[in-house]
Homo-oligomer: A and B are copies of this chain.
């Protein structure tokens, strides 16, 4: 049984936005007002729902829930897209006896396509009827685009104020979706927390989870993680327990982020790139991203090839500052490159079994300082090309 935070209900409906014979309109609703937090894409082209949320980001307003459509991203749709988004909120609010300000919007799908308001409106009676009957798993399924499976993660905490539940769901590594759509994440929690703390904590958690994954480096126009907390678990969380809740939120974010990389388009590997010894954290990130985005490294990992030459060449062009002869690289715990020189062993055979596994650890030490970074990256396969070359046409 998935432990849904108290006072939250889900609703789904088949609006027929794009996909056939599946739900594509989703509401996650709290019976009472929630403090909420959001992290939004940094792409300069921001989708209409992102812009709508952005406007309210620094306000102290509460909300009741989120509404998500799958099929059209409502990005690069200009003023019309903003009007469509507001209209959809208004219609949905009316159907659920809410104000439009009670709902936060999210869209996923093809960039440039407007949401289909007619289909949306027609689906509202079904949506209303399913409220409280749809499960969290139904919701996690209804927000998918080309994801192969729904992605959920949860924690139940015993705090001094009582039992608290954190439940998260996410959809497909947006950057790799064939329609170049979106990474969306939704987290609900029944803890009683202060909105400012909740927002700061979500930001910190997202920075260490969703912001540290890459499939193809293509940040989307719709990326959005929304977190709602409705205080239905009972009393407000005591200060001494906040770190426990923050840790749980962080773990839920990390698990969802990991699931997104695991379900990367065409992906067969989750590469855990751990950089240490950089001059600072920013340089560690530069190094990790150069390796994690390198098509040559990604294809080598796909080919189960311990090709350290490609890893160090990516490090060397990353912009991170270090001395080549201080660099070491370990694959799956085995040091294959030590202080600037290869370790002469038959790695092809020694690592053959390990490199077949889905999760692959890559430790990189730059020997230049205290900077560290962890990035989760997918590999690059023919299937990725097939999906993305053939998608629209």
Contact = CB atoms under 8 A, between A and B. Distances in A.
Interface residues of A, number: 61
A278 B390 CA distance: 32
A310 B177 CA distance: 11
A345 interface: no
Contacts of A111: 309-310, 312-313
A340 interface: yes
B309 A112 contact: yes
A296 B45 contact: no
A158 interface: no
Contact of A309 (B110, B317, B341, B389): B110
B348 A43 contact: no
A180 B310 CA distance: 7
Contacts of A232: none
B299 A389 contact: yes
Interface of A: 42-46, 73, 75-78, 110-112, 175, 180, 216-221, 293-296, 299-300, 302-305, 307-310, 312-317, 322, 324-325, 337, 340-342, 348, 380-382, 384-386, 388-393
Number of copies: 2
A317 to B, nearest CB: 4
Contact of A44 (B216, B296, B322): B322
B385 A313 contact: no
A44 B392 CA distance: 40
Contacts of A393: 303-305, 348
A389 B303 contact: yes
B45 A313 contact: yes
